[in-house]
Amino acid sequence: MTSKDVTPFAQRGDLSEVELGKSFCPKFDDNGLISAIVTDRDSGNVLMFAHMNAQSLRETIATGYAHFWSRSRAKLWKKGEESGNLLRVVEIRTDCDQDALWIVAHVEGAGVACHTGAQSCFYRRLVVPPGDANTLVLEHVALPRGKTV
Amino acid sequence: MTSKDVTPFAQRGDLSEVELGKSFCPKFDDNGLISAIVTDRDSGNVLMFAHMNAQSLRETIATGYAHFWSRSRAKLWKKGEESGNLLRVVEIRTDCDQDALWIVAHVEGAGVACHTGAQSCFYRRLVVPPGDANTLVLEHVALPRGKTV
């Protein structure tokens, strides 16, 4: 695999082009990674957050299924490859400075995005117990836009 | 400011406690930062993506307004402090391994989250021009869940 194969993206030009132009020039960090937010096509909920390197982004674009870079395992990771809960990409967006991606996706298989079995990885919210403003706890709650975890 | 002031969060215990428990033990990376996804309370759209350090997370919890760590300016950043487009926090969620935050917020002021004047920073989507699968371009488009940028 050549360098060209894994980085088919535009060179980053001036700020105006990056922010307002049509060139897709994602900014990978010092570790070669870009942040990727995945939301559910139907509910709009945030399902998971992970990172992509150039190869996983290229695979995502080429196959229509979300691929990430597993930092813990240091390998390309096709999400749901073992569980069947693949993420079929509906749309890929990028932000103003192109250092983050928003993936709108449909979860195949059992419709479960989290390895814990929850629909979304974000199944807990932060609460401050009454009378104890210094103690923060997490509470398991339903997703905000109608679907339960 | 003491160390305790800026890190009032629980120590990370075993994986089961981190993933399924009630202790809020956010994982800051080697630069002391955690990723924060901000979505709009009403539309559910992703508005922006930024990073928080312990201090900005603490300020966010204490004030109810989103604070971040500006990596480019290397300083605490109260979002909207100059523009008036403050992000009033409705809910803070964390993911299974507590290395990312999902902030559900209401944008005050002009309702604009991006410094470019767009409602959301994610105003462009990736498209592959017909007949030219090797050329990726960005297209300015409306937000997927009803609101335009």
ipTM of the complex: 0.92
A9 touches chain B (CB under 8 A): yes
B19 touches chain A (CB under 8 A): yes
Residue B3: the pLDDT is 39
Q: Which of B24, B96, B122 is facing A94, going by the closest CB pair?
A: B122
In DSSP terms, A89 is beta-bridged to A105
Q: For residue A28, give every residue at least 6 positions away whose Cβ sits within 8 Å of its Cβ, in sequence order, or none.
A: A34, A53, A54
Query: CA B121 to CA B137: how far, in whole Å?
Result: 17
Whether residue B144 and residue A91 make contact (CB cut-off 8 A), yes or no, is yes
The residue of chain A nearest to residue B125, with distances taken between CA atoms, is A93
HSE, side-chain direction, 13 A CA sphere, residue A141: 15
DSSP A74: T
A118-134: per-residue pLDDT in tens?
Answer: 999 999 999 977 766 67
CB pairs under 8 A between A and B: 125
Contact present, A38 and A120 (Cβ < 8 Å): no
Query: Which amino acid, A54?
Result: A
Query: CA A2 to CA A55: how far, in whole Å?
Result: 11
A9-40: per-residue pLDDT in tens?
Answer: 999 999 999 999 999 999 999 999 999 999 99
* Residue A113 C-alpha, separation from nearest chain B C-alpha, in angstroms: 11
Contact present, A109 and A120 (Cβ < 8 Å): no
B39-86: per-residue pLDDT in tens?
Answer: 999 999 999 999 999 999 999 999 999 999 999 999 999 999 999 999
* Residue A141 C-alpha, separation from nearest chain B C-alpha, in angstroms: 10
| Tokens found for residue A149 | 């975890």
pLDDT band for position A8 (50/70/90)? Answer: confident
Taking CB atoms and an 8 Å cutoff, what residues of chain B touch A73? none
Instruction: State pTM to two decimals.
Output: 0.92
Q: Which of A118, A20, A9 is nearest to A57 (CA)?
A: A9
* Residue A136 C-alpha, separation from nearest chain B C-alpha, in angstroms: 6
